[in-house]
Amino acid sequence: MKSEKKSISNTGFSRIIKQVIHAPSFSVFIVMVLMCVLMYIVSPPFRSVNNLLSIAKNFSAYAIAGIGVTMVIITGGIDLSIGSIFGFSGVIAAMGMVEFGLPLMPAVLLGILTGTALGLINGLFIVKLKLPPFIATLGMLSIVRSLCYITTEGYPVTGLGKEFLFFGQGYILSIPTPIWLLAVIAIIFSIFLNKTVTGRRIYALGGNEEATRISGINTDRLKILVYSLGGCMYGIAGIITASKLGIGQPTAGNGYELDAIAAVVIGGASLSGGVGTVIGTLVGAAIMGILRNALVLLSIKSHWQQFIIGCVIIIAVTFDQLRKSNKLAKV
């Protein structure tokens, strides 16, 4: 009897191990671990808890924006307006407090709602005007960035109250607030994508849009939802960054769209849709964060930094592709 129980538990354990190994983002997770081990060996300052927390704090905003665009990419779409919505939401939240005299939470909500509304507009352009996501969000990238300059005249919004700084500079149980926010958002969206009907439909939409539509699912509504949620996430990320720096900057998030999309792709998502996970995006964002930290700690000349980031993106994704093709060959 005892030996039977042991055998069952062994089977369960090995099943879990197999599941972990075959998880979509496992290979990039290995890349991340290898990077950490390498840095642990060559750079003593990397090992400090402060440094590790700082890395996590710095990539939290990218990762939250990345979670937003992960859902968009799963549907087979793309969002190039991430950086602009990121910047504008931060500016609006800051202006809400400084210019409109709103209390903390209404100002923050105003920023998040602004991001959500802009995401909703993206979705409406794509669904109602039948614009390709690349074009619709490229247009929004310019329009929203312009709004940043129009509303601020190019000046950063300063004079933010100390309570606002908690979101970017504060600590809960000795861990920076942005990390907590990232953890909560990652758990919510992981459950949403994997355990809810709407989440499964998002995957189905990316896998085969026509089949999903024929099966009676309102794909238009699903797309609008996904782009709106994306806008909401970019908004939250923008507000965290505004809080971290203590200013609402009209230039904030310039070019961040590529960083967020890179994190998602490194994390194993497919730009053709149907594939992608929140965990993968977290690992992708962590790889980018560790890399940036490593380049500073190792005093790598600035001119080489983009080169190295590009190489790591290609290596991580190639590693994942090879693993997937091996898996397919075995099937």
Partner 1 sequence: MRSFPMKKMLLITTIFTLLACSLYAAGSTDGEVVIVVVPQQLGNIVFLPAKEGAEQAGKDLGVKVQWMAPVKAEAQLQVEVIEGLIERKVDGIAISCNHPDALKDVLARAISEGIVVSTFDADSPECGRPFYAGTENYQAGVICGEEMLKQYEGNNKSSISVAILEGIPGAFDIESRKKGFLDTIKGSNLKVVYVGACDDDVDKSVTIVEDYTRANPDLDAWFMAGGWPYIVQPGALPEMTKWKQSDPENHKVVTMDVFSSSIAFFDEGLIDVAVGQNFYSMGYLSVENLYNLISGGEVEGGMKKEGFPGLFIDTGGQIVTPANYKDEIAAE
Q: Which two tokens stand for residue 46?
A: 């990397």
Of the listed pieces 28-36, 103-111, 112-120, 301-309, which binds partner 1 according to CB under 8 A? 301-309
For 223-258, give the DSSP string. HHHHHHHHHHHHHHHHHHHHHHHTSB-TTTTTTHHH
Of the listed pieces 17-25, 102-110, 227-235, 252-260, which binds partner 1 according to CB under 8 A? 252-260
Provide the residue type at 148 as one letter: C
| Stretch 151-210 residues interacting with partner 1 (CB under 8 A) | 154-156, 158, 160, 165, 168-169
Which DSSP category does 48 fall into? S
Q: Which is nearer to partner 1, 7 or 158 (CB)?
A: 158
# chain residues binding partner 1, by CB under 8 A: 41
Of the listed pieces 74-82, 245-253, 273-281, 322-330, which binds partner 1 according to CB under 8 A? 245-253
Q: Which is nearer to partner 1, 29 or 167 (CB)?
A: 167
| Nearest-approach distance from CB 305 to partner 1, in angstroms | 7
Given the structure tokens 């699903």, which residue do they identify?
222
For 88-150, give the DSSP string. HHHHHHHHHHHTS---HHHHHHHHHHHHHHHHHHHHHHHHHS---HHHHHHHHHHHHHHHHHH
Q: Which residues contact 86 (CB under 8 A, 6 or more apart)?
A: 61, 65, 115, 234, 235, 237, 238, 241, 252, 253, 256
Q: Which is nearer to partner 1, 158 or 272 (CB)?
A: 158
218 binds partner 1 (CB under 8 A): no
How far is 202 from 120, CA to CA, in rounded Å? 16
Phi, psi of 116 (to 5 degrees): -65, -45
Of the listed pieces 12-20, 180-188, 190-198, 302-310, which binds partner 1 according to CB under 8 A? 302-310
241 binds partner 1 (CB under 8 A): yes
| Nearest-approach distance from CB 78 to partner 1, in angstroms | 20
How far is 161 from 114, CA to CA, in rounded Å? 20
How far is 178 from 166, CA to CA, in rounded Å? 9
247 binds partner 1 (CB under 8 A): yes
Q: Which of 293, 313, 316, 320 binds partner 1 (CB under 8 A)?
A: 293
Q: Which of 180, 251, 308, 309 binds partner 1 (CB under 8 A)?
A: 251
- Count how many residues are written for the chain: 331
Residues that bind partner 1 (CB under 8 A): 43, 45-46, 48, 50-51, 54, 58, 129-130, 145, 148-149, 154-156, 158, 160, 165, 168-169, 241, 244-247, 249-252, 254-255, 292-293, 296-297, 299, 301-303, 305
